[in-house]
Structure formats: structure tokens, C-alpha cells
Amino acid sequence: MKTVHLVQHTHWDREWYFTENDSKAVLYYFMDDLLQRLEDDNTLGPFVLDGQTVVIEDYLSVAPQQETRLRQLIEQGRIVIGPWYTQSDFLVVGAESITRNLLLGQADCQRFGDAMPVGYVPDSFGQSAQLPMFLQQFAIDHAVIWRGWSEHNVPFSEFSWQAADGSKVTTAVLPWGYGCAKWLPDSPSACLTALQPILEKQTRFSLTGNVLLPNGNDQSPFEYRVPQLLDQLNQQQDEYRFVRSSFSQFFQSLESTNVTLPIYQGELISPKYMRIHRGIFSTRVDIKQLNARLEQTLSQHLEPLLALNWRLGLPYPQHAVDNIWREAMKSHAHDSIGGCNSDRVNAMVKNRLESGLEMAQQLIDLNMKMLAEGISAQLDGKKIIIFNARPQISAGLVEVTIYTPEQDFRVVDGEGNECRWQIVEEGRQDMSIIVQELSNSTETTWYRKCRLLLEVADIPACGYQTLYLQEGVRAECDQQVESVVKLENPWLLLEANKQGILTLTDKRNQQTYHHVLQLVDGGDAGDNYNYSPPFNDWLINSDDFLTSVTGQQGVLQSSLTLNWQMAVPEDLAARNARRANGELDVTMTITLAHTNTWLDVAISVNNTVRDHRLQVLLPTNVQQHIHFADQPFGLIERQNMPPEMAVWQDEQWTEAPVALYPMQSQVMMYDEKRGLCVLTEGLREYQIPENQQDVMAVTLLRSVGWLGQANMPYRPGRASGMVLPSPDSQIQGMHHFKLSLLAMNNGADSTFWRDVERVRGNLHAWLATGWSRFRTNPHGRVFPPHFSILSWDTELHFSTLKKAQHSDALVVRAWNPTARTLARGSITTNGEVAAATLAETTLQTDRHQESVPTCAPATCVINFGGEKTC
């Protein structure tokens, strides 16, 4: 006899085709009913509140007077909460976001009671291979998931899931989803009739006699009559024994069987039984870029800067930072960040991210102003603060924008030595927009506005250095710019022919890459969930549409700018008719710094056409069947051609398992002789085309006009979501993209990974003009002209530096991006260092001896004993 564990729950989408305002109104009445039913009948419960504490936050925002009632039921274990703050996507959002989601979610749970010790992920569009690692770092041993699993991954719905670093969690799959047993009839006989086919499907892949039966659905009311039917169901048949249960009770029963579970390692993105919606990785690329920018700004600029200033005695606005993270996480749910929403909701998602950036940038400006204010000038001139977030001494190129009335100026270091710089862009600036005192002036004050590329060296680790802008003094460094037709330095050569076709030569090993960075535009007959090619697509590349090529060489870098006017169809109907009645204006600027081993690429697209997808191609001529991409805190190996493509139609999969993949920012294909790696800013999708297995195609944008559609080539059958027009998802207008291209001359060796970290960079420059939109009183503290909190001798890649969540300590985190174990390395600081988990709990280990496995983070907590530096 099989034991059926009935778990009652709701799945609560905060927004989708409806807004969060709609959701809160429904939540008010849902929770009112739930609380009353549980209070009236002590036998009811436990009830799972979707594993996300934002539901509590939303409810109490509209019913604050109900907190005591809610808290009592949580403390009694009859309402089960957490461990997440929101039900996040795990393939598109960043590693720090996932970490903070659990960190803040568990903090919420501690305020109300205990967190559910289960990594419940009912609806994420695919599962990251890193999920077991994240859960184990927060002492969570179990996971319940839905989408992404099939027997092609592991033959049973219960298994031990292992991350690359060795972390394991016991995992149970809901093979037919969290809503498979929704809306059960009140009559025992009718209920049993309804359950028979459901249970037959639920038990099909079960390894033991314990079966999960989730009773609930999207925003569905509590089915309070179902539990009382269980005794009668047990009396009417002897195949199943029905019990009121929870996910934790299910795992206890599973473990009591002493059955050895199969071990699975890897991601779960199989769409055999449930759609994972390959296409959300590039839907609404404007939202993806905003989110990536916010994540980077928070974890690698604002938080490290606040940590620095906190050590210098300035306040750390913890609650303000947490609020930015929380608002960002409200945009990280699978639908929200996926962009598969109504236009109104996508506008709200975008607004939250823009608001977070606005707040973060204001905090950065105020803290840079306070930092500069405390530094006593060593020389004449305006102070330029170079801030280095990384825990290693850094050098390189950093951008800074200056406003000056003078034609001549120079930049010097603290010893008076002149720094080299190059003007990247120049214009005029109305200063009344910037200087508050000039805003009411009757005359316009115009200054030169120069965006400079500045060469700096020896910037202290997790610290700053002070330079000086001296105006009215002629610079000694040569600012002459020469015209060029190619880019070249000691490592790379890039040449363009008359059509604008680019050839890259790696001078280190004489390997040549032809036709790099070609643009290809094709049709998109899909929706917000899925890219889908038209049944007879018409691909148009950039080769025949070049209008100009210009190049220039400066003191620090050289650049080529290519302009195309691509004749393309204006919509799907025109593409089907082979009419090129629209135009895409595209500008690509490729930059090669004289000291860098990579190309920086900026692409601007005026998107005036619809129903299409634009990609940039990177042919590698590498004859391998695998490639690599980054994932949260790690690297993953993937097949160029998924073997399931041979069987998906015969097995009637819900979606084609095409080689359309997510990334955090990096994808690479290489062998022992050659290879290419691309690093992007906010572009989350790439493809290995079926007919070009040596090509990496990075999606720049896709334009579609529907939330959901039916019967697409890559996704046959019903429409996903709602058949609802979403014209804003055509994302008309100007779009700007950035990526960097690295040639690989010796595989993924340590030199390559150092270059990858250099590409990502963490140098920030700020000019202390004395102007400010907002006045503040002086803080009265004095800071040194240069300062460092700590240095970390490690090959690990930097993730964040922040104040600890619940103590007066600092947290510094790095991660191992390579496929091999790396030494943790030693930290030099005047505080006491202890290794810790992502949950910021101390580990009992010697940090100087411990190594860091592949795809693993290394977190250290530093306690300074309560003393500030200044």
C-alpha cells in the first residue's frame, strides 16, 4: 500500500497577467478565509504559504491588524512559511540575488517562527545545477521542485541532487506540477474517482511507497473540506493510505524506508513533461539589462563602498540597502524577470528596477561625496577618488566624467606624477542642471563635458586612491588621435574588409577567427515565453549593408566604428512574403586597449521593426561537441546539440529542447589550440545553431507582440499563460549592448581566468567638484589620501564586500569559476577572519588550509572588535 502525503498549499504569483495591486486585493480575502478556517477547526493544517515570505509582507501591508493572528498560526506550525523571500528564477538572476533571497527570507521567518526546512521551488522555469549548493549553505537538506525534470535526467522522482562542489540535498519532484490535485470534489466517491488518474501519474516514477499529493493552485482558496475526506477515502479502497502531511513529514517517511536514492548532478532544464519556456532568457532584454546593472551596482559598487565608509566611521544604511534588494527580488519571480507578463506588469517590473538603481546611485553619490570631503588634499586641484571594490591591488583603465570651463587640464597622482588619459567623448553641458545654485540663474553657464579614460595603477585592495584634476594646466601626455583601419596591440589584430566583415587574429598562437561579430536578423513567431522561428524563416545578415567604417588610435586605446543600415522585414507577414520593407540602423564600436588582451564591443540598435530576433555570431571553428557557460557561482558544461532533440517529437515533449541556453554573462567554446569566450553585460541568452555547431550566437534582442500563443514549431499545443496582446514587448526604440570578446590561446588556464576577472573590473572613479544636488552638513572626520580595508591573495573571483546582516562585522565573498579546485588564499586585515557560509554562519575550519571546489563560493566574516579606523 502506498502512502499518499496530502500537502495543502497555494501558489501565489504576485503578478503575471494581473498586477501586484490585483494580487494584494485577492490576498486580503484569501488570507482572511484561511485564518478563519484554521482558527475554527484545530484539525486543519499545516498549510504551505508558497515558500515565500513576501506573501506575509504583502498581506500585512493591507491588513496590519491581523499580524497577531497570523503569527500564532505560524508559531503553531499550522501555517508554514519560507525559506525564500520570493519565488525567484534561478537561471537569469545573479548569485548574490539568490543568496540575499534566502538570507532575507530566513530573517523574515525568524521574526514569525521557524522557516520550512525545504527548498520549495514549485514553478521556476528550469532548475540551476547550483540549487543544492545554495540550500546546503543555509543548512537546508531537502528540495521540492517541478519544472525541468524528466527520466532522461534521473529515472525516479526522488533522488539525491548533488552540486559540483559536492553539496547534496534529497529532492522530490512534483512530476505533474503543484496543481495536479487542485479543486477536489467534496464527495468522497467523486474525490476518489478524480484522484485515481492523478495518483496513477504521480506514482509512475516514484521510487518508494511514499507519494506527494499537492492540493492547491495559483491564487486558489483553501480547500478546507478535503482533509476530512481522507478517512473515508482510506475506507473505500486499499491501494492508497491518505494522510495529512507536509513536505517535511514526507521526507521523514522517505528516509525511514532506508532506500538508496540515485545521485544526479547537473541542471534540470528538460521540457518533456512541463514547459521551461526557452525564450524568457531574452524576452524584454531591457528588463534583463536593468536587473543585471542593479545587481552589479548593489553587490560590487554600493555595498563595498558602504563597507569602506563604515570602517572609516560613517553610518551603514543597512535597512535602505535591504529595501533595494527586496524591491529587486519582487522583480525576480519566474514570470516577473522572465518578462512573460502583461505590458502593465512589465512596466511595473521595470519601474522597480529603475527605482532601485536610482536609490543605489544616490547612496553612491552621497557616500563618495562624504569620502572625498574627509580626505585632506595633498595637492592643488579637484580630487578624483578611484575606488577599488576588489580585494586585490588593481590597475587598469577607468572612466570618469569631468566638467570644466578650461580648455587645458591634467590629472596627477598624490606625488604629482601626471597620469595618462584619453577623451572618449566630448560635448557641452548646461551646468544649471547639475549645480543647484545655478538652477535659477537667468544666464546659461556652459562647461566642457569630457568622458575620460584614465590610466591608474596601484589602487589599494578594497580601498581607494586620490588623484587630482588640475585645470588650466596643459597635459604632457599626447592627445593626438590618428585614423586607423585596423586594431592591433601585442596580443590581438582585428581587421575589417570593405563589407565590414571582421577577422580576428590571436598573435600569441597565430590562430585566426573569420567573420566574428556578424549580425543576423531572423523572424520570431513566438511569444513572451518562447522564441519560435517562423515555419519558413528568412535570415538576413549584416554583410551587405555596411554604410561606413571609421577608426581612431589614441594614447590608451584604439577603436573601429561600423555602421549598418540593414534592410529587413517590418513584421512577420512581411518576412513570410520575403519583403524587406523595414530598416535596422546598427552601430558597432569595437575597442582594443593597448594593454588589454580582449576586445570591448558596444552595439547600438534602433529597433523599428517587429516580430524578429537579432543575434551576434561568434564562429570558433572548434570541433567539439561541448561548450561552457557561467551559472550562479560557477561554470557549467553543456552539449552543443542536446541528444533529446532526436526524440522530443516522437515522445511528444511539451517543448523542443533546443540549444537555446541561459548564462549569467559568459559563454565559451575552445579546444587545446583555439577558442573564443564572450562576456556580456545583461545579455542572458545564447544559442548553438543546429546547422553551425562551432558558432556561439548571443541574442541581443527579440521582439514579440503576444504574452501567449498556441501551436508554435518549438512549442506545440496550447498557449502558455494568456492569449493576450503585449505590444510593448516589441521593445521599439534605441537599445545599447555591451560585450567583451576574448581569444583563448591556451584553454581555460589561470591566465585566461585572470583576464576574465580583469574584464569584469571593479574600479570606479568619482570627481569631487564641490557641487551637489543636495546639501549635507560636514561630518567632521578626516580620512587618509589612500586606504585599504583588506587584501585577499586568491585566484577566486570577487563577488561582494558588505556589512554582515546581523552583526558589526564585514563579509567578503569570492567564488571559484574554474573547473578545478583553487586555494582559498589568505586575507590580510587588522580584523579577526573566520570562514563562513552564505548564511553568514561561521564554519569550523582553518581558512589558510581550506581549498575551494569548483562552482563554490568562499565567504569570510571579518570582526574588527567594534573599533573604527578613523
Residue positions annotated with a catalytic role: 123
* Other Cβ atoms closer than 10 A to 203: 18
> DSSP string spanning 733-801?
EEEEEEEEEEE-SSSS-HHHHHHHHHHH--EEEEE--S--SS--------B-SEEESEEEE-SSEEEEE
- Give the span between the Cα atoms of 767 and 27, in whole angstroms: 48
Among the listed residues 177, 80, 56, 60, the one whose alpha carbon sits nearest the alpha carbon of residue 122: 177
3-state secondary structure of 333: strand
- Which contiguous run of DSSP H or E holds residue 591? strand 582-593
Helix (H) or strand (E) holding 385: strand 382-388
**Dihedral pair phi/psi, residue 710, rounded to 5°:** -105, 160
Residue ranges with strand state E in 486-577: 486-488, 492-496, 502-506, 511-516, 518-523, 540-541, 546-553, 557-568
User: Is 364 within 8 Å of 385 (Cβ atoms)?
Assistant: no
Burial of 657 (0-12, 13-18, 19+ CB in 10 A): buried
**How many Å apart are CA 514 and CA 508, to the nearest integer?**
17
Q: Are 565 and 376 in contact (CB under 8 A)?
A: no
Q: DSSP per residue over 819-861, as a string?
A: SS-EE--EEEESSEEEEE-TT-PBPSS-TTT-EE-TT-EEEEE
Q: From CA 107, how far away is CA 101, in angstroms rounded?
A: 10
- Tell which phi-psi region holds residue 226, choosing left (phi > 0), alpha (psi between -120 and 50) or beta: alpha
493-518 burial: b if 16+ Cβ within 10 Å, else e: bbebeeebbbebbbeeeebebeebbb
Residue 85 near residue 108 (C-beta atoms within 8 A) = yes
Instruction: Tell me the HSE value of 470 on the side-chain side, using a 13 A CA sphere.
Output: 18
